[in-house]
Structure 1
Amino acid sequence: MAASLALCPGPEIDTLPPAPTLSPQAWPLCLQWLVLIVLAGCAGQLLKHFHLPAGQFVGPMLVGIAMGASGVSLRIHRQAFRLGQGCVGLLVAHSISWAVMATVAQSWPVMLAATLLTVLLSTVVALAMVRFGGITSSTAAWGTSPGAASAMVAMAEDNGADPRVVATMQYVRVVCVVVVGAFVSRLLGVDGGAGNSQGTAMLLGTPQLTTLLLNLVVLVAGVSLGNWLPAGALLVPMLLGGTLQLAGLLPVELPGWLLALAYGTIGCYIGLRFDRPTLAYVWRRLPAMVAGSLLLITLCALLAWGLAHLMHKDFLSMYLATSPGGLDSMAIIAVDTHSDIGLVLAMQTIRLFGVILTGAFIARQVVRLTRR
């Protein structure tokens, strides 16, 4: 009987589908995008609710870092990132006036000296990271360069440095600068956009349809013209919009929802670059990178304190102006905290070009000094 039962074929059992996994990288691509958009939007609004400066930028950036480290394959298209930078450029252009231009014209020698000091401080930090952080000299020089992150990565690869470590060092510092900058703003009692009735992004109001369309034309044209210029997607729309506004031809006005979208796009673009392979590659060097970034931020803050007394400016504006972060990141925080946007923009722009022009020379000097 047992033998006959063993020989009789039983009912066919369907193969069970594999158990669903909770790992975000296994989710469908549409679900990954949905989670990113929802979490980034919620995080931005939450930080804005708690009056965190640039909360609509910091929140999506932190969400992007978490999702990038979890292994998702999402990437924000570079053109979307550039359009976001263009929106920030127009937002800055809204703050440009003849009074601001006069202030910049009067203070340019001090700004140039501050730029040179910042580059010198970054060189000192690079030497310290070679000595104590176990990072090669050329890579440390490009990685600690204070600004123009994407340009520094491209130039580093052309000059034989490891672009992965350079990129990580640059964006680790961007994260540190943004978080510390928001913390300093909060510590000094400066609220973010949520402290206002409509938020900083809504200060530009709701423009008329014709004005909005003309501003969008300036945005697209500026981003297109800035393709071959470092940070050109931010600088060219800013220059075009500022020039048109100073000439009285076009008021620079953008709706709040567009600025929030631009903030979120920039934040997610930066955050998603921290993928798992990159983090694994630099894990052992990460403490040295963070320490080097914080050291450079501290040295620049001390420089800002001295310059604030010398130029009779508020410390927060001078801190943002000398902070070794990206031009777009500092512009967002400066606008959101009602700082001296003309000062911040001018010093950050001068340093941007200074870093690009001196990058190769500084790298060679760091290599030469460490070999000795």
Structure 2
Amino acid sequence: MLNPAVRWLLLLALSGLFGGLLQVLHFPAGVLLGCMVAAILLSIQWGQLSLSPPLFVLAQAVLGCLMAQSMRPPALSNVLAHWPLFVGINLLVIVAGGLLGWVLVRRKVLPGTTALWGIAPGAASAMVLMSESYGADMRLVAFMQYTRVVIVTAVAAWVAHLAMSVQAPPAAPHQALAVHQLRHVAATLTLMLGAAGVAHRLKIPAGGMVLALLAGTALQATGWLVIELPPVLLTLAYAAIGWSVGLRFTRAILMHAWQALPMVLAAIAALMGLGLLLTLLLVLLAGVAPLTAYLATSPGGADSVVVIAATSAVDVGFVMAMQLVRFLMVLLVGPRITAWLAQRSSELKKPKS
């Protein structure tokens, strides 16, 4: 097995190769996807690496600021004016994921309540940690959750790439920084470091992203902050997010989950199918553009979808608002709903006395 220093160099080389290729092909979120693929390949073939938790939290804070940058007063007004739509669509995503997991548990597709926790559409880390207490195979849950993130992210990027190939390409979202913008960059970096520091210290789930998003949105709306994100900083954050997902796929986990792989893929495909139905609802009932609706209802990781939306020709504010509402709802009620369904499933399996 290669020593860690050589593995890091190899990861950087593979990430540059795959990420650069996807960028040349004008793939949305090419850096994130390239780094994700590179990390999966390295972890399986040459041994595992781990990303420093503070760096991952900081990368989340960068994405939180990216989301806040799009949450300007018009986007916030849109959320407030149509809050039943945002809450209703996301509640359907959560409930549909729970019911799909319930069916898989009842049909004994996977051991115990594994399917219920593994197919839950969000809060992956919380679901993995809580699953073992409810009779689930924690390694299989982790495999299902992060496989969902990888597949949904890859498909969403591919769909966005196809859609953009028949549309005018989006304007470059990030311009070269002028001297007078440096103070905005400094203020944004201060916000990121503060949010990441608090989140890491208090161990808040996805706290770096949530705190930076909430604080950044509030400060921007009041005119106290102009969020400025240098392209190099975004690129580093995209790479860190891609690595954090890809490095979770170890050879041991893959060997453990190999027999269940067809069922895992089928469950993920079913969840994505439910997302497509919600996309149609948004298009037909709310008049939302198809690609915008697809990314808004995508059951992948919010951080990955944010990157794809930011590099695609979509209504970024709508996508990020929908993903934000779902993200917060999943954090608040998702684990509770899944735990309740897991408990009910266990009770129904007990023989009647």
TM-score of the superposed pair, with normalisation by structure 1: 0.86
CA drift of 1:148 comes to 0.9
* 2:325 equivalent to 1:346: no
Q: Is the 8 A contact 2:42 2:48 kept in 1?
A: no
Task: String of CA shifts for 1:208-248, please: whole Å, max 9, x gaps.
Answer: 43322221110011122334432221111112122222211
Aligned CA distance change for structure 1 residues 119 and 132 (closer, same or farther; 3 Å): same
C-alpha distance in structure 2 between counterparts of 1:206 and 1:168, whole Å:
44
8 Å CA contact 2:272–2:299 kept in 1: the answer is yes
Deviation at 1:296, TM superposition (A): 0.5
- The one-letter code matched in structure 1 to 2:32 is F
Query: RMSD over aligned Cα, in angstroms?
Result: 2.3
Equivalent residue runs for 1:1-372 within 5 Å: 26-130=1-105, 134-189=109-164, 199-200=172-173, 202-203=174-175, 205=177, 208-227=181-200, 228-356=203-331, 357=333, 358-368=337-347
Distance 1:75 1:206, change over 3 A: farther
What secondary structure sits across from 1:145 in the alignment? coil
Residue identity opposite 1:64 in structure 2: A
Q: Which moved more, 1:180-189 or 1:145-154?
A: 180-189
Contact 1:206 / 1:253 at 8 angstroms: preserved in 2?
no
TM-aligned CA deviation for residue 349 of structure 1: 2.7
Work out whether residues 126 and 366 of structure 1, in 8 Å CA contact, stay in contact via their aligned partners in 2. Answer: no
Q: What are the Cα deviations for residues 269-292 of structure 1, in whole angstroms up to 9, with x where unaligned?
A: 110110000000000011111111
Relative to structure 1, the CA distance from residue 230 to residue 28 in structure 2 (aligned partners, 3 Å threshold; closer, same or farther) is: closer
Letter in 1 for 2:190: V
Q: Percent identity?
A: 36
Task: Give a deviation string over 1:25-75, Cα, whole Å, max 9, x none.
Answer: x22321111110121122112101101111111110011111111141311
Partners in 1 of 2:184 and 2:24 — Cα distance?
Answer: 30
What letter is aligned with 2:20?
Q
- C-alpha separation in 1, matches of 2:303 and 2:82: 22
Partner of 1:21: none
User: Are residues 310 and 74 of structure 1, via their aligned partners in 2, closer, same or farther at CA, if it must alter by over 3 Å?
Assistant: same
Specify the structure having the higher radius of gyration (Cα): 1
Aligned AA (1:275): T
Report if aligned partners of 1:41, 1:264 keep a CA contact under 8 Å in 2.
Answer: no
Q: CA deviation at 1:171?
A: 0.3
CA distance in 2, matches of 1:288, 1:121: 17
Structure 1 residues 179 and 369, CA gap change in structure 2 (3 angstroms): farther
Shift, 1:368, TM fit: 4.8
Change (3 A) 1:226 1:250: same
**In the alignment, which residue of structure 2 is the partner of 1:6?**
none
Shift of 1:127: 3.4
1:158-187 CA-partner distances (Å, limit 9, x unpaired): 434221111111001001110110121122
Equivalent position amino acid for 2:96 in 1: L
Normalised by the length of structure 2, the TM-score is 0.90
Classify the secondary structure of the residue corresponding to 2:164.
Answer: coil
Number of aligned residue pairs: give it: 344
Instruction: Deviation per CA, 1:73-98: give whole Å up to 9, x if none.
Output: 31111221111111111111111211
Specify whether residues 117 and 188 from structure 1 end up closer, same or farther in structure 2 by C-alpha distance, changes over 3 A only. Answer: same
Measured in 2, the distance between the counterparts of 1:204 and 1:337 equals 19
Structure 1 distance, partners of 2:170, 2:281, is: 31
Deviation at 1:326, TM superposition (A): 1.1
The answer for the alignment partner of 1:3 in structure 2 is none
Query: Could you say what secondary structure the match of 1:248 adopts?
Result: coil
Q: Mean alpha-carbon deviation: is it higher for 60-69 or for 219-228? A: 219-228
Contact 1:206 1:256 in 2 (8 A): no
Residue ranges of structure 2 left out of the alignment (5+ in a row): none
- Point out where structure 1 has 5 or more consecutive residues left out of the alignment: 1-25
